[in-house]
Structure formats: C-alpha cells, structure tokens
Structure 1
Amino acid sequence: MLGARIAVKRGNRDEAEKPFWISFADLMTALMVLFLVVMGVALLAVTTNVSEREKKEEQHRKDIDLILARFTEAAKRYDGIKVDKERRVIDFGDRARFAFGKSNLSAEQENVLRQFVPEILNLANEDLGKRVLKRVVVEGYTDKTGSYLSNLNLSLQRSQRVLCTMFATGTGANLLSDPQKEDVRSLFLVGGYSFNAAKDTDEESRRVEMRMEFLGIDENRADVMRQRGNFGDCALK
C-alpha cells in the first residue's frame, strides 16, 4: 500500500559507539605502554652513562694517585727533595733555596735540578703521564721583606732561573740533551708568587717549587708545535 510505512531497523546507539570507544581505550593503553618503555630505556641509558662516568672518575683518581706515588719514589733517591701529595707539589727544600734578594743558584743546586728534571720528563712521557699530567708549573717565592711588586719580579726571576738551569750549555754537570730541553719547553711553565704562601721563616720562604697540574677526565695533553733547537740564552745574569 502506498500509505504503508517502511520500517528501517536501526541498531542500538550504544552498540554503534561501543567499537569506537574500545579502540580508543586500546590506543591509550598502547601509548602508555610505549611511554613506559621509552622512559625505561631513557632511565637505563642515563644510569649507564652515570655509571660509566663514575668509573672514569674513579680510574682518573687512581691514575693521579699512582703517578704521585711514582714521583714520590723518584724523589726519595735525592736527598732533600720531597713530594707533597696533598698540594701536588715537588718541594726541593734547601736544594733550591735562594739568598736574600737574589735569584742565583749555586753550581750544586743547579746540578741537583738537572739531575731530577729527567726523572720528571721520563714519568711525563710514560703512558700514565700522558694520560693524566698536564704540565709542571715552576713557582718562585720570596720572603715578606720588600714591596709586593719588587718581590713579584724577584719570584719570577727565581722561577726563570730554574728554567735557565735546565737550558744551560757549556761545561756544567748533567746538562740536558736537546730532546730533553724540547720536552721541558713543552711541559714546563713559569709562575711567580711574590710572598704569597710564605713559610714559617724567611729562609724557607725564599724557595722554588714545582706544582703538578693534571688533565681533566677525557682531556688530552695539548700537542705543542715544537720548534727544534733555538733555545736562546738566559737573560738573567
């Protein structure tokens, strides 16, 4: 009949929407699982990196302690020379003491310095030394007498005198070879400190020390473009 209605069966609305909401829930669950996996991997990577860093730091400390121990053993073969492990300093004591207002060293003192410097170079050129030793700073000191600037100049002259002793030529005892002098030029640095860090007495304050500076973790000793020979003459008289 024309007037008859055609009934179209419609599904339950909840039944139509149900598959959609199930899929969305599954998606959120998958994303959450993925997030947890990513975070777990990230945390594992961070933990691994920290662990590796700690291992490097521990090994670096051990290497520094080891080379300081080797410097200490080398110093024991020379009377009056000591290594202060806490300050990381080679102390020459009376073997490198200066007279009041002077920057000169006696022939015996120069001889001692030239005997010990090759010990430093040998340790610096070993694999351990190349890994941890950055440079050796020669530090000169004065007593408290006089002005700051005059003492600063004097302390620099005393540091320079030590370097001049290493580069000496002629007929002196235990003169360094040219390759040793080139190593000194690339490894040693001159520093002056006036009357800072003065000792208990004026005599003890008029001294020179060699302070060891060490590389940081993953740091390499800078390659120095070496100029062969041409060491020049000491400007100090």
Structure 2
Amino acid sequence: MKKVNRKRMNDEAGFNVWRSYSDMMSGLLLLFVLIMAVGLMEAQKNYDDKLKEQASRAQTQTELAQTQDELTQREKELQSAQQQLNQRESELEEKTASLSSLQTTLDDQASQLKKSQQQVSQQESELEKSRQQLATQESELQSRDDALAQSQKQLDEANALMKSQQEKIDQIVGVKADLIAALNDEFKKQQIVVNIDSQTGAIVLDANVMFDWGESTLTGDGEKVLSQVLPVYCSVLLSDQYADYVAEVIIDGYTDSSGDYLTNLALSQNRAYAVASYLLSNSGSFLTDAQNKELAQKLTANGRSQSNLVLDQNGNEDARASRRVEIKFRLKDEEMIAELSKIIVDTKNQTAQTDAAAQTDTAAQTDAAG
C-alpha cells in the first residue's frame, strides 16, 4: 500500500510540474500574443499616420499646383494688360501727332486768313482812295459845269454810262437774292415746308431725323426728306437761269460738342458723304445729263465736326440743333469781282476821257479869251 501511494504521489508531482509548465507556456504565449497585438496596432497606427501624411502632402502639392496655375494665368493677364497699355500709348502718340499736324494746318490757315484780311483791307483802302478821287473829279466837273457849257453833253453821256454800269452792278449783286427768292417760290409751289436762310440760301436738315444716334447711314425718314428737298433745290440751282452763276453746291455735316473732335469730324464727314451719295445716285430722276455732269463738278461734301455750334437765346449750346446737315451754294464770286473791276476800270477810263475833253475845252476857251 505504501508503494502504491508513493508512486501515485510521484505521478501527481510529475503531473503538477507539467501543468505548471503548461500554464507558464500558455502565459508566455498569451504575453507574446499581446505583444504582437500591441505591435500590430502600433504598426497599423503608424501606417495610418503615414497614409494621412501622404494624403496631406498630395493635397498640398495639388494646392501648390493650382496656385502655380493661378500665378501663371495672372502673369498672362498682366502681359495682355501691358500689351493693351502699350497699344493705347501708341494710339495716344498717333492722335497727339495728328492733333499737332492739325494745329499746324490751322496755324497756316490762320496765317493765310490774316494775309487775306490784310489784302482785303488794302483793297478797301485803295477803293476808298478811288472813291475819293472820283468824288474829287465829280466835284471838279460840277464846278466846271457853269464855265464849260459845251462839255455838258459829254457829262450827260458819262452819267448815262455810269447809270448803265450801276444797273449791271445791281444785277450782279441781286443774283443771290433772286436765286433765294426762286428757291422759296419753287418750294412753295411744290408745297414743301423748308426754311431757307435769307442771307446764304442754305437749308438745314435735322440730323436727328436723317440718321440714328452716332450713325451715318440714312434712315427711311431721312431718305424721304431728301427725296422731297434735293430735286427742288438742285433743279433751281442748275437751271439755265442760274447755273452759270453757281460755282459750288456744298453739303456740310455738323455734330454737337459731345465726344472728341476727330470722332465727330469723321461722323460729320460720313453724314455729308451719305447725303451727297444719295443725291448723285438719284439725280438722274430729276436732272438732265448735262445738269448731272455739272452737279458732279460742283458738288462738295465736308465734315465740320463740332464747329459752328447752334446756341439758344441764353448763349448755351443747342445740341439737337447743332446736329445737322446744311445744303447751300456759292456763287462765282471771283467772276463777280472781275466784272466789278472791269466796270470800275471802264468808269475810270470814261472819266479820264471826259476830263481830257473838258481840259481841252477849257484850254480852247482860255485861248479864245486871251
């Protein structure tokens, strides 16, 4: 019995050792598993942190790329703006040069005008001297009337010649008045209401009716007005009675003072050209072939820009009235002046002949008296 119990005790002791060893190994295994789990969790955390860091870096690179694109776009915009600025500076320099050239032209014209005024003043002075001389001669002739009875007939003939010449002068001066009257009569006859300047014979067309704002293409109403006015006006000017006196048929375009001068100059020129083009395109319906050729030689179209503005009663600009197209004419002033000069020369020659004859008579009477 004792041997059996001892063996049993040895077996139980061996079993307890293995169980303790097993428990120890289980604990170590559990500890290893825990360490592995902690290591895996730490590794997973590090991996997640790296992924977040990489995502953050990628986002940062994307934002940097976007920023770089925006900077590139802004640089392009700045370059475009610089090019536009350079272009505008170039245009400004061109306009400045154009204005300088225009100023030079205006200065030259002013100088020529001054010279012309001086010549006119000199001619008026000479004419006044001639008038004074004529008055002196007439006084001398009048004083000789009592003593020179025989020259009375010659003086009467000279007076008759002067009267005839005066009638010629009156006829030349009265051509414009007659022409303006003829225009008024013809427009009344055609029952067309038109205001004709009594001094110049010009008619004014409202640009607000003729054209749209800022445009130079005739409107339907504008063409209708021209179809009524131009046939009457040109038919009278180029009629057989007045055609030889008319030197020029003028179409002038005007604007108001809004906008710059050069833009208004181009607009007014284009509007005058539009009216002239309409006239030449339709003149065949109311003028003969000969009159059409004469019109083409005498017609001019001018842009006056914002010069010669129309003012109201208070001296302020009437912008609507200033936007206009004027149609007028110019008589052959040079031919008139030449005719007047010829008349004056003929008068001087006739007076000289009369004086010579009077002096001869006086000398003869003096000899007879002696």
Give TM-score, length-normalised by structure 1: 0.61
Contact 1:81–1:90 (8 Å) recurs in 2? yes
Specify the alignment match of 1:117 in structure 2. Answer: 230
CA deviation profile, 1:44-95 (whole Å, cap 9, x unmatched): 9987775554322201122221110111123344655221112321223468
1:178 & 1:205 partners in 2: Cα distance? 34
Specify the alignment match of 2:178 in structure 1. Answer: 66
Structure 1 residue runs of 5 or longer lacking an equivalent are: 1-35, 220-237
Tell whether 2:282 aligns with 1:204: no
Amino acid at match of 2:238: N
1:52 and 1:96, CA in 2 relative to 1: closer, same or farther beyond 3 A?
farther
CA drift at 1:161: 0.6
CA drift at 1:126: 2.5
Contact 2:253–2:326 (8 Å) recurs in 1? yes
SS across alignment from 1:198: coil
1:106 & 1:67 partners in 2: Cα distance? 30
Contact 1:168–1:175 (8 Å) recurs in 2? no
Q: Higher relative contact order at CA 8 Å, sep ≥6: structure 1 or structure 2?
A: 1
CA deviation profile, 1:100-155 (whole Å, cap 9, x unmatched): 32212212311321332222332123232124222210000001011222211111
Contact 1:75–1:83 (8 Å) recurs in 2? no
1:13-162 aligned within 5 A:
51-76=163-188, 77=190, 79-93=192-206, 97-162=210-275
SS across alignment from 2:241: helix
Specify the alignment match of 1:195 in structure 2. Answer: 306
CA deviation profile, 1:159-209 (whole Å, cap 9, x unmatched): 10101212347xxxx966783643431232111211112124222211101
Contact 1:67–1:128 (8 Å) recurs in 2? no
CA deviation profile, 1:9-64 (whole Å, cap 9, x unmatched): xxxxxxxxxxxxxxxxxxxxxxxxxxx9xxx9x99998777555432220112222
Tell whether 2:327 aligns with 1:214: no
Give TM-score, length-normalised by structure 2: 0.41
Specify the alignment match of 1:225 in structure 2. Answer: none
Tell whether 2:284 aligns with 1:167: no
Provide the identity percentage: 23
Amino acid at match of 1:187: K
1:57 and 1:50, CA in 2 relative to 1: closer, same or farther beyond 3 A?
same
1:55 and 1:99, CA in 2 relative to 1: closer, same or farther beyond 3 A?
same
Amino acid at match of 2:174: K
1:199 & 1:113 partners in 2: Cα distance? 22
Specify the alignment match of 2:366 in structure 1. Answer: none
Structure number having the greater helix percentage: 2
2:208 & 2:229 partners in 1: Cα distance? 11
Contact 1:114–1:165 (8 Å) recurs in 2? no
1:175 & 1:111 partners in 2: Cα distance? 15
Question: What root-mean-square deviation, in Å, do the aligned CA atoms of Structure 1 and Structure 2 show?
Answer: 3.5
Amino acid at match of 1:144: S
2:177 & 2:191 partners in 1: Cα distance? 21
Contact 2:179–2:237 (8 Å) recurs in 1? no
Contact 2:210–2:221 (8 Å) recurs in 1? no
Contact 2:212–2:219 (8 Å) recurs in 1? no
Larger of the two Rg values belongs to structure: 2
